[in-house]
Amino acid sequence: MNQNKLLRSCAALALSLAMGSVFAQAPKRVERADDLPRFTYAVQGELEQIVRDPQRFAAFARERRRDIDSTLATFDIAENATRRQLLGELVQLDLLEGRFDDALKRSAQIQQLQEKPADKLLSGLTVRAAVAAIRKAGGRDTPAYAAEVGRTIASELDGLPYLTIRNDIQRAKAGMETAGEAVALGRVRNVLQPVATRTGALSSDMAPALVSARYMLEFVLPLKATLVQTYTAYLKVHQVDKPDIWAARDVALPAGRHYATVPIVVWDSGVDAQLFPGRIVQQGDAPALVAFDLNGMASKEPLKPIPAQLRARLDTLMDRSKGLSDLTSNIDSPQASDVKALLSNLPPAQYKTVFEELRLTGVYQHGTHVAGIAMAGNPYARLANARIEFGHTLLPDPCPTPELEARVAANFAAYADFIRKSGARVVNMSWGGNLRSYEVELEQCAIGKDPAERKALARQYFDAHLKALKDAIASLPEVLFVASAGNSGNDPTFNDAYPSGIVLPNLVVVGAVDKAGDEAAFTSYGPTVLLHANGYQVDSLVPGGRHVALSGTSMSSPQVTNLAAKMLAVKPALKPAEVIAIMQRTAERSEDGRRTLIHPAKALAEVGYP
């Protein structure tokens, strides 16, 4: 072989090896969150000291950064929300370590991955403002720093369309008004610390809370007054309400027509039947009820039980719920002022009690609030209560056992039997679960010797529950099931969620928009989410007869249940698939293709109303 041929052969070989290396290192496509790796971090002593001590935190952060970098380099993650979450954690680490150019670069990547209009506009705003202020003021310890952050944020906000970003700014303001050190460290002290004490380790599901806690202490809380002032001033200048597209679309059926009675099952946390007199499905002389408690045992309680020691304080707890709602709506009420003062100045020892009470109140109210939306404007609807008990404690209670999980799976058939006997035409399910939450619960209960064992056990429990629920829905083909998409802002199919990830001809999944039809920041999305309805600060009843505005896909799902029940009242021969098809056909698709907004007036016109 002559020299030229030898050189060409060597070059070809080198190119072949290089290309082989490129192909060998090409990221592996991941279509499910369950296929992403798990990591474990050894932690000793008080986690709060890791958060507060720069050296101890730096050692933990090096491991966490290594694993996130490895995940992003090794896997082509199908879901943007998961990629944003991982990049967002790196941005926090970058800022904490003074790697400002890296923080800006990653923030720009996150912005490119944003899908919702408001998120695209606001993504990275605080990061950009903080980095610019640090560089201009010469650090975060100078008096000019906070003022410069406020000036930069205000300047950028002024150039953005107010009605697109209003909800997000109101929620950001509410979040800052209730922020404090006890809230920033509460999860570390009360959720992570018990796990670390028992096991000496934290999984990659729980470890990000250490990063966010330090970020809150170092970067967010020092700017609290500035951010509250900046957001308040912005909202005060732009006192323009969003248009309400739903008022013109709504239809209230008149009483006295020869329309069919339509039983509705609200499968939720319980319903205060006294608020719907004359409109309740009866079992003998009592309101129709099926209920199971947290232990999977049959219950006769129509609502989430309130412990005896809290019953005298129930009005106060309900006031706190209203106060949080008012803060989200930027309403200056006595309840809003009280809850703002409570949370922002919360003593550490009271965190667990206060937050568990807030969660208890939320569960207690939830089903009745959903029922009020589902029943509105329909004198032909009749309500049946299928109560599923949700936990409210910061740590699981009870912890999962094979016996408990088997009972929970078996109970889905009992719910299906109740739905069948009630004669229900529509069932609303504003709740859900996902595979990874099973793993986290096992970790919190110190069940499983390692992540691999927890993963396998979580899959076993999840699959059993998923199959039982899917079988229950499929066993009732003449009943329409309406499920909420979820409030985690991700894809239920990527994250193995139920019921929002289930595909059946008699199931429809609903995402949330606001009263103007703009996509809610929290709403989940994906191929199973077929319809969208108002789920932002929706007013409805809560037990006892109060009214409160709540947000979530929990509130958008019963809007579709409401419409379906009205359609069935007018035209009872409709099958579930036909109801879904009409709602889709008469809905309005947004220009970006992300939202399919129900149109009750058009859907009812198609079935013959008026």
| 321 in any annotated domain | no
Tell me: do 505 and 555 sit in the same domain. Answer: yes
Per-residue pLDDT, 19:
41
Q: What is the pLDDT of residue 527?
A: 97
What digits encode the pLDDT tens for the residues 540-599? Answer: 999 999 999 999 999 999 999 999 999 999 999 999 999 999 999 999 999 888 999 999
Q: What pLDDT is recorded for position 7?
A: 37
The predicted pLDDT at position 18 comes to: 42
226 with 299, same domain?
no
163-169 mean pLDDT: 97
Residue 329 forms part of a structural domain: no
* Alpha helices (runs of H) in 486-599, residue ranges in sequence order: 553-570, 576-586
Number of domains the chain contains: 2
Q: Which of 88, 257, 234, 245 is CA-nearest to residue 173?
A: 234
Instruction: Report helix, strand or coil for 6.
Output: helix
> pLDDT at position 591, please?
87
Give the end of a domain, one of 212, 237, 262: 237
Q: Rounded to an integer, what distance in angstroms lies between the CA atom of residue 214 and that of residue 325?
A: 28
Residue 572: the pLDDT is: 98
DSSP string, 178-241: T--HHHHHHHIIIIIHHHHHHHSEEETTTTHHHHHHHHIIIIIGGGHHHHHHHHHHHHHHT--P
Residue 351 tokens, joined: 């965190």
Of 177, 205, 237, the position where a domain reaches its end is 237
Is residue 20 over pLDDT 80? no
How many angstroms separate the CA atoms of 168 and 165, rounded? 5
Same domain, 266 and 300: yes
pLDDT tier at 23 (50, 70, 90 boundaries)? very low
Same domain, 228 and 258: no
- Structural domain ending residue among the three candidates 206, 237, 268: 237
Q: Given a cut of 80, is residue 276 above it in pLDDT?
A: yes
- Residue holding tokens 């950028």? 156
- What's the pLDDT at 24? 52
Q: What is the pLDDT of residue 469?
A: 98
For residues 456 and 559, state if they share a domain: yes
Do 520 and 551 lie in a common domain? yes
Question: Is residue 13 in a domain?
Answer: no
Cα distances from 347 to residues 51, 115, 426, in angstroms, run 18, 38, 46
Structural domain boundaries enclosing 98? 18-237
Average pLDDT over residues 403-413: 98
For 442, the token pair is 């096992």
Spatial separation of the C-alpha atoms in residues 197 and 206, rounded to whole Å: 14
Report the distance separating Cα 251 and Cα 138, nearest Å: 60
- What b/e string do you get for 246-259 counting C-beta neighbours within 10 Å, with b at 16 or more? beebbbebeeeeeb
Distance separating alpha carbons of residues 124 and 119, to the nearest angstrom: 9
For residue 80, being part of any structural domain is answered with yes
- Residue 328: inside a domain: no
How far apart are the C-alpha atoms of 135 and 318, rounded to whole Å?
A: 46
Q: How confident is the model at residue 143 (pLDDT cuts 50, 70, 90)?
A: confident
Residue 408: give its domain's CATH number: 3.40.50.200
What does pLDDT average to over the chain?
95
Same domain, 191 and 253: no
- Residue whose C-alpha is closest to residue 161's, from 120, 126, 198, 202: 120
Q: Is residue 2 part of a domain?
A: no
Residue 120: inside a domain: yes
Q: Which uninterrupted H or E stretch holds 77?
A: strand 75-77
Query: Are 386 and 273 contained in the same domain?
Result: yes
Question: Is pLDDT at 181 greater than 80 in this prediction?
Answer: yes
Same domain for 288 and 176, yes or no, is no
Residue 134, pLDDT above cutoff 50: yes
pLDDT of residue 592: 86
299 and 405 within one domain? yes
7 occurs within a structural domain: no
Contacts 24+ apart (CB under 8 A), 541-544: 541/272, 541/275, 541/368, 541/369, 541/371, 541/372, 542/272, 542/318, 542/321, 542/365, 542/368, 542/369, 543/272, 543/275, 543/303, 543/364, 543/365, 543/368, 544/272, 544/318
Cα 250 to Cα 520: distance, rounded to the nearest angstrom: 20
How far is C-alpha 265 from the geometric centre of its chain's CA atoms?
A: 23
SS3 of 399, please? coil
Say if residue 229 is in the same domain as residue 272: no
- Residues 194-204: what's their mean pLDDT? 97
Helix axes 143-158, 224-237, angle to 10 degrees: 30
Assign 8 to helix, strand or coil. helix
Q: Mean pLDDT, to the nearest integer, of 111-119?
A: 97
- The whole-model pTM stands at 0.95
Q: What is the pLDDT of residue 27?
A: 94
77, pLDDT greater than 70: yes
Same domain, 384 and 522: yes
